[in-house]
């Protein structure tokens, strides 16, 4: 079920969990239309390139970059150049002609993404009814630097092993 609401003057659009899949072209048109109105767009994530911060099935809320530009560490929604494939990855650098984006669980940078291909930033991530804050606040700068240097996955793996030792 689709849902268009307004909260404190901020319109938002949601594709709820009981929604059946819609064609990619319809999703893209809907997403662009909602963001162009200055509204937030909420949907379920599909993919693993941002694991562990965004996982398959998490609820993701996008907000347009109204009056601002992407910053280091932002998790941004964009189209890969020459495609209509929506991708959500972290901003890990800036070049003269665009931005460098990379999935937290990816080994390679997506290339230089022109500003016009970047649609929105991830405002909120929800999993199991709880808001996931890690990766969207001040720590996003460190995460971006670790992701760009391909150290994030190794560090996360080590931390998980340590956590499991203390959990026993």
Task: Report d(CA 9, CA 41) in Å as an integer.
Answer: 15
Q: What is the pLDDT of residue 27?
A: 84
Domain ranges of the chain: 2-167
Closest CA to 145 of 59, 85, 88, 73: 73
In tens, the pLDDT along 77-123 reads: 999 888 878 899 999 999 999 999 999 889 899 999 999 999 999 99
pTM: 0.79
In this structure, the strands spanning 75-79 and 118-127 are antiparallel
Which superfamily does 2-167 belong to?
A: Umud Fragment, subunit A (2.10.109.10)
Residues 6+ apart with CB under 8 A from 68: none
């Amino acid at each position: 079920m689709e849902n268009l609401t307004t909260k404190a003057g901020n319109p938002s659009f949601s594709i709820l969990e009981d929604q059946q899949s819609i064609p990619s072209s319809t999703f893209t048109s809907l997403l662009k239309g909602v963001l162009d109105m200055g509204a937030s767009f909420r949907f379920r994530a599909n993919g693993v390139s941002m694991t562990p911060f965004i996982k398959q099935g998490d609820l993701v809320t996008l907000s347009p970059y109204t009056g601002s530009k992407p910053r280091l560490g932002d998790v941004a929604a964009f189209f890969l150049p020459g495609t209509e494939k929506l991708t959500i990855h972290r901003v890990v650098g800036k070049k003269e002609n665009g931005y460098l984006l990379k999935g937290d669980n990816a080994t390679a940078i997506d290339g230089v993404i022109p500003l016009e291909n970047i649609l929105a930033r991830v405002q909120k991530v929800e999993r199991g009814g709880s808001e996931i804050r890690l990766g969207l606040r001040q720590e996003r700068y460190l995460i971006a630097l670790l992701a760009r240097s391909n150290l994030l996955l190794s560090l996360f793996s080590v931390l998980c092993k340590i956590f499991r030792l203390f959990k026993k």
